[in-house]
Amino acid sequence: MNDLLNQIRLVADWLTSSKQWHGDDGIPHRLLEHLTYSGLSLLFAALIGLTFGLLVGHTGRGAFAVASVANLARAVPTFGLVVLVVTLAGLSTTPVLVALVALAIPPILINTFEGVRGVDPDTRDAARGVGMTEWEVLVRVEVPMALPLILLGLRVAAIQVVATATVAAYPGLGGLGRFIVDGLSRNDYELVIGGSTVVVVLALVVQILFTALRRFVVSPGLRVSASRT
Amino acid sequence: MSDGEPLVRWDWIADHAGELADYTGVHLRLGLLPVVFGLIISVPLGILCHRWRWLYPPVLTVANILYSIPSLALFMIFVRYTGLTERTVMIPLTLYTLSVLVPNVVDGLASVPEPVRLAATAMGFGPIRSVVQVELPIAVPVVIAGVRVAAVSSISLVAVGQLIGQGGLGYYITRGLQLDFPTPIVTAIVLIMLLALATDALLVLAQRLLTPWSRNKVTAA
C-alpha cells in the first residue's frame, strides 16, 4: 500500500514538473506525435477496411479471403513488423505508418464484413421489396444495422494502433513510447512510469470515446444486441 | 541495412537452430500459460456473470479497459512489483485474455437451449452439476472460439516483453535491430506466426475431439 502511494507520488511529481510540459521531450509534443501517428493510420485503415468490408459483406464475394486475412493478421507480432520496417527502410515516419495502417485494417475489415453479412436476409429482401436500390440497401439498411460491429472493429483497430505506436519508440520513432524506452535505457524509473501513466490515460480516453460514439450513432432499436462485444 | 544484404541468410538460421528451438520453447510458455490462467479465471467468472446478469456489464467493462492498455505500459507498471521476470509479461497477457474469454464463456452458456437446461433439472441435476456436466460441455465450441483468438494474440504479443528482457523469440527482434541485420527479425516474425497458427490448428482439433456430437451432426445433415 505504501509502495502504491510512493508510486503515485512519483508519477505526480513527474507529471507536474515543468520540464515535462515544454519542448520536444515534453508531454504535449510527444502526445501530438502519438496522436498524429495513430490518427493518420486509423484514418487510412478505416478508408480501406470499410470500403472492402462493405463491398465483400454486401456482395458476399471474397468472404473466405477476408476471414483468412483476419486470422493471419492476428498472428503477426506487431513489434517485430515495426522493427523490421525500420531495419529495411531506415528510421523515417512513413514506412512505420504504412505498417501501422496494415495492422489496423484487418479488425476493421472483418468486423465490417461480419456486421453486413449478419444482417437478416429477410430485412434485406424487405428493403429491396420496398424499391430500394442496391446502394440504398447498403447505406440505409445494412450499414446502420452493422454499426455496432463496425464500431467494434474501429475500436479494436484504434487500441492496436495506440499500442503499436507506443512500441514504435523502440526503433526510434517519437510518440509517448519515447518516455518508456528512454527511461528504460537510462534506468530512469520515474520517466518509465510517468510515460506509462500518460499512455494508459490515452488508452482510457480512446476507450471512452468509442463507448460514447456507440451511444450516439447506434440506432436505439439495435441497443440490445449492441451491448454484446 | 547495408546494400546487398539479403532479407534472409539461411546459413544464419542453420547455425542458430538449437538456440532458436530454446527460445521457441520459452516463447510458447510465455504465450500459452496466460491463456491457461485466463481460462481458470474466465470460466468461473463467466458462470457467475451468466447466473447473475447484473454482474456482466461491469466485469466486461473492466476487462475491456484492461485490454485497451498498451502492453508496454502495462509491463512497466508491473515491473515495480514483479521485477524483470517472466511473471511481469504473463500477468498482463493473462489480463488481456479476459476481454475475449469472459464474453465467450457467457455467450457459450447462453447458447445452451432452454429445454436442455430444464431436462437436466428434471433429471435431478443441481445448479452446479447442471453447469459443469451439461451446460459447459455444450458451450465448448463458443469457448474454444475465444481461446483461439486469445492464444493467437497472446503468442504474437509476447515479443513486446523483450523490452523488459523477457520476450521469447522477441529476443531476435531487438538483436536484429542492434546488429542492423534483418535475418533474425524475419526469422522471429515467421516463427511466431507459425507458432500462433499451429496453436490455432491444434485448438480446432481439440474442439473436434471435445465435441464429437457436433461432427456427427454434420455427417447426419
Task: Summarize the confidence of residues A5-26 as an average pLDDT.
Answer: 77
Which of A79, A173, A207 best probes binding to B when mutated, by most B CB atoms within 10 angstroms?
A: A79
Is the predicted pLDDT of residue A229 greater than 60, yes or no?
no
**pLDDT tens for residues A42-99?**
999 999 999 999 999 998 888 888 888 888 888 899 889 999 999 888 888 888 898 8
Distance CA B48, CA B139 (A): 15
pLDDT of residue A223: 63
Q: Residue A226: what pLDDT? A: 43
Higher per-residue pLDDT: B63 or A223: B63
Distance, CA of A35 to CA of A90 (rounded, Å): 22
Among partner residues B76, B103, B107, which is closest to A180 by beta-carbon distance? B76
Closest CA to A100 of A171, A29, A148, A152: A171
pLDDT of B41: 97
Q: What chain B residue is nearest to A172 in terms of C-alpha separation?
A: B177
Least confident of A61-70, A127-136, B31-40, B171-180: A61-70
Q: What is the mean pLDDT of residues B72-97?
A: 91
Tell whether the model's pLDDT for residue A105 goes beyond 60: yes
Could you tell me if B182 lies within 8 Å of chain A, comparing CB atoms? yes
Residue B20 or residue A220, greater confidence: B20
| Domains in chain B: ranges and CATH | 23-212 (1.10.3720.10)
CB contacts under 8 A, B 75-134 vs A, are: 76-77, 79-81, 103, 107
- For every residue of B121-156, DSSP letters joined together read HHTT--HHHIIIIIIHHHHHHHHHHHHHHHHHHHHH
Question: What are the distances in angstroms from CA A206 to CA A153, B76, B185, B193?
Answer: 13, 20, 31, 28
A155 → chain B, closest CA residue: B68
| pLDDT at site B63 | 93
- Assess whether pLDDT exceeds 70 at residue B219: no
pLDDT at residue B220 in the model = 44
| Phi then psi dihedrals of residue A219, to 5 deg | -60, 140
**Cβ–Cβ < 8 Å for A153, A110:** yes
The answer to whether residues A67 and A110 touch, using CB atoms and an 8 Å cutoff, is: yes
* Number of domains observed in the structure of chain A: 1
- Please, what's the largest Cα pairwise distance for chain B? 75
Residue pLDDT, tens place only, A130-159: 999 889 999 899 999 999 999 999 999 999
Q: Least CB-CB distance to A74: which of B70, B72, B153?
A: B153
For residue A120, the enclosing domain spans 2-226
Q: Which amino acid is at B130?
A: S
Look up the pTM and report it: 0.87
Q: Reduced to 3 states, what is the DSSP secondary structure of residue B211?
A: coil
Interface predicted TM-score (ipTM) of this complex, two decimals = 0.87
Q: What angle do CA A56, A45, A178 make, to 5 degrees?
A: 155
pLDDT in tens, A183-221: 888 888 888 888 888 888 998 899 899 989 888 888 887
Angle at A205 between CA A201 and CA A206, to 5 degrees: 120
Q: What CATH number should be reported for the domain holding residue A163?
A: 1.10.3720.10
Per-residue pLDDT at A225 exceeds 60: no
Q: How is residue A18 written as a grid cell?
A: 515543468
Q: How many angstroms separate the CA atoms of B219 and A205, rounded? A: 49
Q: Looking at the predicted structure, is the pLDDT value of residue B197 above 90? A: yes
CA R_g for chain A:
21
